[in-house]
């Protein structure tokens, strides 16, 4: 078993990571690079990246909400590296707030990025992976892909949809040797929470939700302050890329709460989340 694992580790392989400009995507690009992989780091603004291009690391412009942008980046990465073995659908967006504080444009943007974005990238890379006889598509979901939090309704909807997409896709790609995986991080410190708070502040707070939202977000901020960095997620993504077990889901810091979600009666679980987040 160990020999087979090290075989997988040592073969020169290429990973394409979306949303690699910062946070979990950037940490993932570095993690794979440090382990000898070639890395196609896809992002909206390569000019602003902290990643230094080399013969094993190339940056590609990719906005996952644009099919031509996705196709162009995937084709360029294949032309440069010869093949893509693993795709990490990491690019994601989280807007926080009560539903009445969010607009339909917010909802559409979240779905377009978190769900349709992963579908576009997968659709672009599948013919290539099938021609190569295999590959892996790793979808960065969330603890919110199998449970919910207050004020995250659009985000939760997008991650539940992403999990449904990935789980279904796994059926049809199996015969081509293409494995689909889902990584489910709990809270990790990446700066995305600060962005969520700034985004909410820019919207008009609904008077009926203001006190509730402030209370919940204070608790979320406390959780985020003591959260680990994105490297733990990068490690789990690498594990999903190299694991030989036919496993679909990889929780990262979320195993306990997702187990509780499955085992506990729903009403009791909701009370626990309310207590943790002061969401009465």
Min separation Cβ 31 and ligand NAP, Å: 13
User: Nearest approach, Cβ of 52 to ligand NAP (angstroms)?
Assistant: 17
Of 215 and 253, the one with the shorter C-beta distance to ligand NAP is: 253
Determine whether 141 is an active site residue: yes
Is 254 marked active-site? no
Whether 159 is catalytic: yes
What is the Cα–Cα distance from 130 to 173, expressed in whole angstroms? Answer: 8
Q: Which is nearer to ligand NAP, 25 or 135 (CB)?
A: 25
Catalytic residue among 142, 155, 181, 213: 155
Strand ranges inside the chain, DSSP E:
14-17, 38-43, 57-61, 86-89, 135-140, 178-185, 249-252
Decide whether 1 or 104 has the Cβ nearer to ligand NAP.
Answer: 104
Residue 197: both structure tokens together: 């708070």
CA angle 216, 222, 227 (to 5 degrees): 125
Please give the structure tokens belonging to residue 89: 């659908």
Q: How far apart are CA 231 and CA 237, in angstroms?
A: 10
Q: Which is nearer to ligand NAP, 135 or 145 (CB)?
A: 145
Q: Which of 38, 152, 153, 159 is catalytic?
A: 159
Any catalytic annotation for residue 181?
no
Least distance (Å) between residue 57 CB and ligand NAP: 16
Cα dihedral across residues 204, 205, 208, 209: positive or negative:
positive
Q: What values do phi and psi take at 182, rounded to 5?
A: -125, 125
Q: Which strands, in side-by-side order, build the sheet including 57-61?
A: 57-61, 38-43, 14-17, 86-89, 135-140, 178-185, 249-252
**Geometric angle at alpha carbon 14, from 12 and 20, rounded to 5°:** 135
Q: Choosing from 141, 153, 158, 213, which is the catalytic residue? A: 141
Nearest approach in angstroms of CB 217 to ligand NAP is 14
Closest CA to 144 of 155, 128, 133: 155
**Minimum distance of ligand NAP from residue 177's CB (angstroms):** 26
* Site residues (vs ligand NAP, CB under 6 A): 18-19, 21-25, 43-45, 62-65, 90-94, 113, 140, 142, 185, 187-188, 190-192, 195, 230
24 vs 126, beta carbon nearer ligand NAP:
24
Q: Which residues are catalytic?
A: 21, 141, 155, 159
């Amino acid at each position: 078993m160990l020999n087979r694992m090290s075989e997988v580790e040592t073969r020169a392989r290429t990973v394409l990571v979306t949303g690699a400009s910062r946070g979990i995507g950037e940490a993932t690009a570095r993690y794979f690079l440090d382990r000898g992989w070639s890395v196609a780091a896809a992002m909206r603004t390569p000019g602003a990246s902290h990643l230094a291009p080399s013969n094993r690391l190339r940056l590609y412009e990719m906005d996952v909400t644009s099919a031509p942008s996705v196709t162009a980046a995937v084709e360029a990465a294949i032309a440069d590296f010869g093949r893509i073995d693993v795709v990490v659908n990491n690019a994601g967006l989280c807007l926080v707030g009560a539903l009445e504080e969010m607009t339909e444009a917010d909802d559409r943007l979240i779905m377009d990025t978190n769900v349709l974005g992963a579908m576009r990238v997968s659709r672009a890379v599948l013919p290539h992976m099938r021609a190569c006889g295999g590959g892996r598509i790793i979808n960065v979901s969330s603890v919110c892909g199998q449970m919910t939090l207050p004020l995250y309704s659009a985000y939760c909807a997008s991650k539940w949809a992403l999990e449904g997409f990935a789980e279904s896709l796994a059926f049809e790609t199996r015969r081509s040797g293409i494995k689909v995986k889902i990584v489910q991080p709990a809270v990790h410190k990446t700066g995305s929470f600060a962005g969520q708070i700034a985004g909410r502040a820019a919207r008009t707070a609904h008077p009926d939700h203001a006190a509730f939202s402030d209370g919940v977000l204070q608790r979320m901020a406390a959780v985020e302050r003591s959260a680990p960095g994105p490297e733990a997620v990068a490690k789990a993504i690498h594990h999903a890329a190299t694991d030989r077990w036919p496993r679909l889901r990889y929780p990262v810091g979320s195993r306990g709460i997702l187990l509780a979600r499955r085992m506990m009666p729903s009403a009791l679980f909701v009370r626990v989340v309310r207590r943790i987040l002061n969401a009465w």
